[in-house]
Amino acid sequence: MPYVSHQEKDATKKPMYQQLYEAIKTEIENNRLVSGSKLLSIRQMAQEWQVSRNTVEAAYHQLLDEGYVKSKEKSGYYVEDLLADGWAKDVTLEVVKHSARLVNEPDDVVAPARYDFVYGKVDGNVFPLKQWRACMEEAMQFELDRTEAYGEYQGESLLREALVTYVYQARGIRCGVEQIFIGSGTQQLLSLLCQTVFRDKSVVAMEDPGYDQVRHVFHSHEMSVLPIQLDKDGIRLDQLMASKADIAYVTPSHQYPYGMVMSIVRRLQLIAWANETGAYLIEDDYDGEFRYGTKPIPALKALDNNERIIYFGTASKVLLPSLRISYMILPQSLVTQYQEIWKKYLQTAPRVIQYALALFLQKGEWTRHIRRMRNLYAKKHRILLQTLTKTMGEQIEIIGSEAGLHILIRIHTTYTEDELIQRARKQDCQVYSIKQYYQHGGQRKNSETSEYPVLLLGFGAIPIEEITPGIEALYKAWWGSESYTSEPS
C-alpha cells in the first residue's frame, strides 16, 4: 500500500486515532490510495506510527464505518471503490467530508498521552467479540420475534435470573429475582432511589475521598452529604455514628479511590450501626471481581440480616462500560413498598443488550471472561508494582493495590500534584489527580494521607507492553534521569 507516513502526524491536539484516520482518508480522497489496495495490518501500522494497536483499530473502524474501506475476513482492510454501485454516484466527496467532520471530536480535545494510566476503561483487546456477537444475534432475533415493546420495568427476568445465580456464587448474596433492578448506570439507579425511597431522607454519609459521580447525584437531589474520613479499615465509624446520617454510601470491597478492603470487624460494625439507627447502607461493589493474591471476599450484602443494605453491581468493569448495564439488589421490604411507584418508570437499559447479557451469563461466558480478565489484570498489576518498586523504590508509597483496576501512589517529592502531572505529560505519560474525590476539593490530611501528593494510576486499559516504559517515563519526568539505576537527584 502507498505509504502513510507517521511523519504526517500533526502537532495539533487531535487524538492520535483521528490523525491516523484523517491521514488515510486524505490519501484515499486524493487517489493516492486507490480502490482495492490493502492497508497495512494493524500491527504494522501501529509500529509505523508508534501508537498502540487500539489506536489503529479505532482509526480503521472509523474508515470502515464511513465506507472508505472494507474488511475481508482473515485478510485485512481494503480501500473501497468510492464511485462503485452501492455508493450513490452523485454523492460527492464533499458530502463524505462533511459527514466525517460531524463524527469528529472538536479540535481542542487534548490528544491522549502515549502512556495513559487511565481509569474507568477496560482492556478492549481481549473483549470476547465472537461470543458476544453470537449472544447479540440471538437476542436480536428474540427481540424481533416479540410483540410487546418496552420490556419489564425492572429489567428482563432472564437477566435477573442469571444474576441471582451469579451474585450467590461470586459474591455470596442470596436474593430473589424480584429484588434485582436493572438500569443503565449506577447514577441512574441511584437517582431512582433518591426520587422514591430517599425522598424523606436527607442526610447521606460518604467516604471522603469517595466516588464523585455518586456525590453529584445526592447533591442534585438536594441531600446533605457529610464527608466521613477513612482509616485503614475504611469509613471511620466514630464519625459515621456522630453524623446522624440516614444513609451511608460505601465501597467495602475496594474503597474508591483509596483501595483499602474493609475489614470484617468494620463490616459488622457498619451493619450494627444501620440496624440500630434504621439507616440504609449503599454498597457499591463496582470491581469486587478483581482481587490479587486472595480470593474475592463476600459482599457486605451477604451479611445483611435486617434488610438494611442496597447493593450495586455493574457490567462496566467485568465486560464493557459502554454497555451501560448496572443493577441493584434491594431489600425485600423496599420492593414491596415501592413496586407500584417503580412500575410507572420505564426500564432504561436496552432490552436487547439485557437479553444478550443474560445469554452471555447463562452460557458461562461471563465467568470465563472474568477468569481471563483476572489473569490479564493480575499480570498487568504485577508488572506495574514490580516496575514501580524497581524504579522508584523508597521514593513512593503504593496504596490500595490488593484489588481493582487502579492504584494510588504517594510521591515523596517537593513538586506539587499539578507539577507532577505536567512533568509526566511532557514525557507523554498521563497520570491522574484524586482531588475531585474529596468533597471540598484538594487532599485533606487525615490518618490515611500526608503532605505528599497522591496520584491515581489505572491499569485496566493500558496495553501490557506499555506499562514498563510508561513507569520509566514517569521516573524520568519526576527525577530527571534517563536511568533509574543512577541515584535520583
Residues forming the site for ligand PLP (CB under 6 A): 120, 185-187, 211, 251, 256, 284, 286, 314, 316, 321, 326
- Name the residue nearer to ligand PLP (CB basis): 4 or 457: 457
Unique residue bearing C-alpha cell 483487546: 125
Minimum Å gap between C-beta 210 and ligand PLP is: 8
**Those residues with Cβ within 8 angstroms of residue 30's Cβ, 6 or more apart along the chain or in another chain:** none
- Name the residue nearer to ligand PLP (CB basis): 46 or 180: 180
Minimum Å gap between C-beta 143 and ligand PLP is: 23
Minimum Å gap between C-beta 86 and ligand PLP is: 38
CA separation (Å) from 478 to 251, 299, 482? Answer: 32, 39, 11
Residue 257: is the preceding peptide bond cis (ω within 30°)?
yes
How far apart CA 353 and CA 349 sit, in angstroms, is: 8
Which triple of cell numbers denotes residue 148?
410487546
Minimum Å gap between C-beta 400 and ligand PLP is: 12
How far apart CA 267 and CA 274 sit, in angstroms, is: 11
Minimum Å gap between C-beta 197 and ligand PLP is: 19
Which triple of cell numbers denotes residue 212?
464523585
- Name the residue nearer to ligand PLP (CB basis): 334 or 456: 456
Contact 216, 197 (CB under 8 A): no
* DSSP code for 403: B
Minimum Å gap between C-beta 57 and ligand PLP is: 23
Axis-axis angle for helices 93-103, 16-29 (nearest 10) = 180
**H helix runs in 114-227, sequence order:** 129-145, 157-171, 186-195, 212-220
- Name the residue nearer to ligand PLP (CB basis): 234 or 427: 234
- Name the residue nearer to ligand PLP (CB basis): 213 or 277: 213
- Name the residue nearer to ligand PLP (CB basis): 186 or 401: 186
- Name the residue nearer to ligand PLP (CB basis): 25 or 380: 380
Unique residue bearing C-alpha cell 487511565: 118
Minimum Å gap between C-beta 404 and ligand PLP is: 9
Minimum Å gap between C-beta 382 and ligand PLP is: 22
Counting Cα atoms < 13 Å in the Cβ hemisphere of 384 gives: 28
Minimum Å gap between C-beta 251 and ligand PLP is: 6
How far apart CA 15 and CA 69 sit, in angstroms, is: 21
- Name the residue nearer to ligand PLP (CB basis): 45 or 281: 281
How far apart CA 48 and CA 224 sit, in angstroms, is: 54
How far apart CA 226 and CA 205 sit, in angstroms, is: 5
- Name the residue nearer to ligand PLP (CB basis): 288 or 331: 288
Contact 435, 441 (CB under 8 A): yes
Backbone angles phi, psi at 393, to 5 degrees: 45, -120
